[in-house]
Amino acid sequence: MILAAGLGKRMRPITSTIPKPLVEIRGKALIDYGLDALARNGVERVVVNVHYMADLMRAHLRKRRDMEVLVSDESDKLLESGGGIVRALPLIGDDPFYLINSDTFWIDGYRDNLDLLADLWNPDEADMSLLIAEMRQATGYEGRGDFTMDREGRLRRVAERDMSPFIYAGAGILKPDLFRDLPEETFSLNRVFDRSIEAERLFGVRLDGLWITVGTPRAIAEAEAAFTASATRAERA
């Protein structure tokens, strides 16, 4: 599933005319970076939730020919990340699924990061496995970190006045059962993160490469510069 229903307020004025997932980086819409990553890993069916400028999103998604794209419509009410997944559950099915934010992506290092997530996924121990970037690998991020991570990869929240180098990189593998008892209402995925932390079943996998988040118009130039720098390093290697 790709989360693509947000309003993109911080991206204004660009998002006055297009939804944020269709903002382009190097000539490609943000959401297509996530769709391409899923396609590379053999994913054949993707659920995308839509709300803001839903017609433009639907028109763009209809262009995909390499996978089936199912739309979870939130035109009536924006449900945020958690509620959006609850509404989409009938489309997602019963198996663990990839979850990707439409406004964050990465440049892979030696490993494909979705493949890395799947390779290290252990459903006996984890209800969720999140892709985790370190601040030194991040472009466009402004914050104090999201989690601490122990040697086994188990995640916990950063204390209120502390900082951590570990950032949720907007991708993960989740069990749909986490959402079965939750109401279809507006709520953040953070509620589910915290429940998994309490049960000690939230784990992280370190990203291999460079993580990029595009939250503001200024971040577009930073993202494109990161691509250029990465390509230059690859040519020299």
Task: Please give the DSSP secondary-structure letter assigned to residue 154.
Answer: B
What stretches of the chain adopt beta strand conformation (E)?
2-3, 24-25, 28-29, 45-50, 68-73, 97-101, 104-108, 128-134, 138-139, 147-149, 155-157, 166-174, 202-206, 209-213
Q: What is the pLDDT of residue 231?
A: 59
pLDDT tens for 53-78 read: 999 999 999 999 999 999 999 999 99
Integer Rg of the chain from CA? 17
CB-CB contact of 74 with 84 (8 Å): yes
pLDDT of 224 over the 90 cut: no
Q: Cβ atoms within 10 A of the Cβ of 37, count?
A: 21
CA distance 188 to 204: 19
Q: What share of the chain is helix, strand, coil (3-state, %, to 5)?
A: 35, 25, 40
Rounded Cα distance, 89 and 62, in Å: 21
DSSP letter string, 161-222: T---SEEEEEEEEE-GGGGTTS-SSS--THHHHHHHHHTT-EEEEE-SEEEEE--SHHHHHH
**What whole-number distance in Å separates Cα of residue 208 and Cα of residue 212?**
12
126, 198 contact by CB (below 8 A): no
Please check whether residue 54 is in contact with residue 4, taking contact to mean a CB–CB distance below 8 angstroms.
no
| pLDDT the model gives residue 145 | 81
The mean predicted confidence, pLDDT, of the chain is: 90
The pLDDT of 151-171, averaged and rounded, is 89
Give yes or no for residue 232 having a pLDDT over 60: no
Has residue 51 got a pLDDT over 80?
Answer: yes
CA distance 30 to 103: 6
What tokens were used for 135?
A: 């601040």
Read off the DSSP letter of residue 22. Answer: G
The model's pLDDT over 10-21, given as tens digits with 9 standing for 90+, comes to 889 888 899 999
Residue 163 has what pLDDT? 84
